[in-house]
């Protein structure tokens, strides 16, 4: 049995769960409405944002993906391990011949797929919206980078939440850890960045200064959302925050490998 076929089965199970009735509309509202709104040629955007291409719309709408899809990943995966553990089903699953590392990978594929597939479908629909509103489509390279980066972002959040789920002894702790991590990276990271900049003697009165932007770019490497934006900036020629594409790619690889290895190790050593 391969991790892919079991993962596919887990994904279908997860996608038919009751909570998807909440997640689907949430994703649809954030992704589709943001594409619709941001692709309006008459839109008056804050922070002097200028949107004049399809990829600009996609880039700007990722702020909404970061907010909704990562929350979706947390909501889908928070009981990925802990529920089976509490009910005793995990004892049955871990006593099967399948190797624990294959099972861990299958869990990851299943839970990641359950959030990535809806986001991917909605992104495809939002492409149609952008084309309708702007009469423009992103290039294949831009589309590839956007899809890859979104897939990786959801993978990192799924991994973090599954890890929390495997550590937690109850569902409440699992979701508390997942939401806590989500809040730190999504809402509080700006505060952490500002504090760090202050500690390094960089003035925080002007958040557009070169020194602050460089500190922010480095801090972003330690956050999944930050690495996501570094990856999304790769096709944009007019943005240079002082982090090379190689460093951003390396950060993405490390964000993928380290939690994955931790999760596999955790499942391998887990006592149900």
Partner 1 sequence: MLASGSMEPALTLTNVSWRHKIRDFSNWKPWAKRDGPGIHSINLEIKPGFILGLIGPNGAGKSTLMRAICGLYDSDGFNKSSSSRRSGIGYMPEQVRWEGRVSVRNSLRTIAMMRDKEVDIDDIILKVGLSSKSENYLDDLSQGMRQRLSLACALLGDPKILVMDEPLNGLDPLAQRAFCNLLKDLASKGVAIVISSHQVTDLEALVDRIALLHHGQLLIEGTLPNVRKKLELDAGSGIVEMICSVTGINPEDISLDLANDDLLPFRQIGVEEE
Contact residues for partner 1, defined by CB under 8 A: 1, 5-6, 9-10, 13, 16-18, 83, 86-89, 91-99, 103, 269, 271-272
Q: Which is nearer to partner 1, 92 or 188 (CB)?
A: 92
CB of 270 to partner 1, least distance (A): 9
Provide the angle, in degrees to the nearest 10, between the axes of the packed helices 20-38 and 54-77.
Answer: 170
The Cα–Cα gap between 151 and 142 comes to 14
Cα angle vertex 225, ends 48, 194, to 5°? 65
Q: Which is nearer to partner 1, 89 or 254 (CB)?
A: 89
CB of 4 to partner 1, least distance (A): 11
The Cα diameter of the chain in Å comes to: 60
Q: Which is nearer to partner 1, 42 or 269 (CB)?
A: 269
- Please say whether the beta carbons of 73 and 115 come within 8 A: yes
CB of 161 to partner 1, least distance (A): 18
**Non-local CB neighbours of 154 within 8 Å, separated by 6+ positions:** 69, 70, 73, 112, 115, 116, 119
Q: Which is nearer to partner 1, 23 or 134 (CB)?
A: 23
The Cα–Cα gap between 272 and 268 comes to 11
The Cα–Cα gap between 244 and 100 comes to 37
CB of 6 to partner 1, least distance (A): 5
Q: Which is nearer to partner 1, 93 or 266 (CB)?
A: 93
CB of 125 to partner 1, least distance (A): 27
């Amino acid at each position: 049995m391969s991790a892919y076929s079991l993962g596919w089965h887990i994904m279908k199970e997860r996608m038919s769960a009751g909570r998807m009735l909440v997640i689907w509309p949430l994703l649809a509202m954030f992704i589709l409405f943001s594409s619709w709104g941001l692709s309006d040629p008459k839109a008056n955007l804050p922070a002097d944002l200028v949107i004049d291409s399809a990829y600009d719309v996609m880039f700007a709408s990722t702020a909404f993906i970061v907010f909704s899809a990562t929350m979706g990943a947390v909501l889908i995966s928070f009981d990925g391990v802990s529920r089976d553990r509490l009910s005793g089903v995990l004892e049955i699953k871990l006593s099967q011949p399948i190797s624990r590392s294959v099972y861990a990978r299958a869990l990851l594929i299943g839970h990641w797929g359950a959030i990535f597939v809806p986001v991917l479908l909605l992104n495809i629909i939002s492409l149609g919206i952008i084309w309708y509103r702007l009469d423009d489509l992103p290039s294949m390279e831009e589309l590839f980078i956007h899809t890859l980066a979104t897939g990786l972002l959801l993978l990192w959040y799924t991994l973090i939440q599954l890890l929390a789920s495997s550590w937690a002894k109850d569902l409440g702790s699992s979701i508390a850890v997942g939401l806590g991590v989500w809040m730190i990276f999504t809402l509080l990271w700006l505060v952490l960045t500002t504090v760090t900049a202050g500690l390094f003697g960089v003035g925080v009165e002007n958040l557009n200064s070169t020194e602050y932007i460089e500190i922010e770019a480095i801090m972003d490497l330690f956050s999944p959302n930050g690495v996501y934006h570094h990856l999304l900036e790769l096709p944009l020629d007019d943005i240079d925050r002082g982090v090379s594409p190689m460093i951003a790619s390396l950060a993405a690889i490390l964000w993928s490998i380290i939690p994955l290895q931790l999760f596999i190790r955790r499942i391998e050593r887990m006592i149900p």
